[in-house]
Structure 1
Amino acid sequence: MNSAEQLAQNLLAESKAYGYTLTIWGGGAILMNQYGSPRILEIFLYVVGALFAFAVLASVAFDDLFDDLGSDHDGRLIVASMVHVAATFGNLLLSYVILTVLNPGFPAIWAFLVIGFEGTFTYNVLLLLEDGFARFVTDRIDRAGVGS
């Protein structure tokens, strides 16, 4: 595969998440422009709204949050594993703790660097844990014969 083909595949794989990221980030920026810097409760409520919408859409698209999410390469997963509640809230909570509890005096230049790193790192590690939990639940459902 040449570089252009690889780039095309990368862009195809990233395009939906990229657009969603820009939409959510842009919406947050508009809220901050209109209402000022959000308090911690408002930040969590913004994320709750986004997660709830995703869960509603996933349950409609897949009929049930506990339906199998068929995948050719990963085996079976449940739809609920797509919502990423633990990865999202865990990440936000850790960012909040780092900036307010562990080192509330971070200069902005370091805070943006640290939270940027932490956000990507923590989100992906927590996704692995969520995936493992979803597989555990799926195995338990299979053993119990639920949905058969």
Structure 2
Amino acid sequence: MNLRRTLAANLASEAEAYGYTLSVWGAGALLIDAYGVPALTGAMAYVFGALVGFAALAAVAFRGFFEPADVETADSALVASMVHVVSTAGSLTAAAAVVHLLEPPVSLAFALVGFSVTVAYNLLLLAEELFARRLKRT
């Protein structure tokens, strides 16, 4: 077993989920700082918002909910693109904007942040990947 190659494979397969986890956790921390620890309603609203955001992106990506989820796997363009600084920081910025600029009521805030962090992270992840692929070509 080649330990370095195995580590590289593990990191490559974990990269998107790791960045998303940081974004979701960070957005939750922003909400808790602004609104306190949520009751069941707030927690459910946060999860609901994230699910709606994910479902919206999936519907666009797969052209509907009842299409086959066949996807070509693509190798990452550059190792640096696995760190996801832009998508993580950008999605937290979107969450902070919802919390501090819109200042919605508690349940709506949790739903909007769940939605915005999911959508922003995934769209910014696409932008990072496109940028990394262009850098790789030059």
TM-score scaled by length of structure 1: 0.47
Q: How far apart are the structure 1 equivalents of 2:61 and 2:5?
A: 31
| CA drift at 1:71 | 5.9
Percentage of pairs with the same residue: 47
| 1:69 CA drift (Å) | 1.1
- Unaligned residue ranges in structure 2 (runs of 5+): 73-138
**Aligned: 1:20 with 2:20:** yes
Structure number with greater CO (CA < 8 Å, separation at least 6) is: 2
| 1:31-50 superposed Cα distances (whole Å, 9 cap, x missing partner) | 00111111110000000000
3-state SS of 1:68 partner: coil
> How many Å separate the matches in 2 of 1:58 and 1:20?
16
Q: Which amino acid aligns with 1:18?
A: Y
Deviation, structure 1 residue 28: 0.3
Distance 1:6 1:69 in 2: 27
Instruction: Tell me how many residue pairs correspond in the alignment.
Output: 72
Deviations 1:53-109 (A, max 9, x none): 00000000110111011268xxxxxxxxxxxxxxxxxxxxxxxxxxxxxxxxxxxxx
How do 1:1-148 residues align onto structure 2 when only pairs under 5 Å count?
1-70=1-70
| 2:10 partner letter | N
What is the CA–CA distance in structure 2 between the aligned matches of 1:41 and 1:34, rounded to whole Å? 16
Residue number in structure 2 paired with 1:88: none
Q: Whole-Å Cα distance in 2 between the matches of residues 34 and 42 of structure 1?
A: 13
Letter of the structure 2 residue corresponding to residue 28 of structure 1: G
SS of the residue corresponding to residue 65 of structure 1 reads coil
**Which structure has the larger Rg over C-alpha atoms?**
1
What is the alpha-carbon distance in structure 2 between the residues aligned to residue 26 and residue 37 of structure 1?
14
Separation in 2, partners of 1:30, 1:55: 23
The one-letter code sitting in structure 2 at the alignment partner of 1:5 is: R
Counterparts of 1:37 and 1:71 in 2: how far apart (Å)? 38
Poorly superposed stretches of 4+, deviation over 3 Å? none
Q: 5+ residue gaps in structure 1?
A: 73-148
Query: TM-score scaled by structure 2?
Result: 0.50
The CA RMSD over aligned residues, in Å, is 1.4
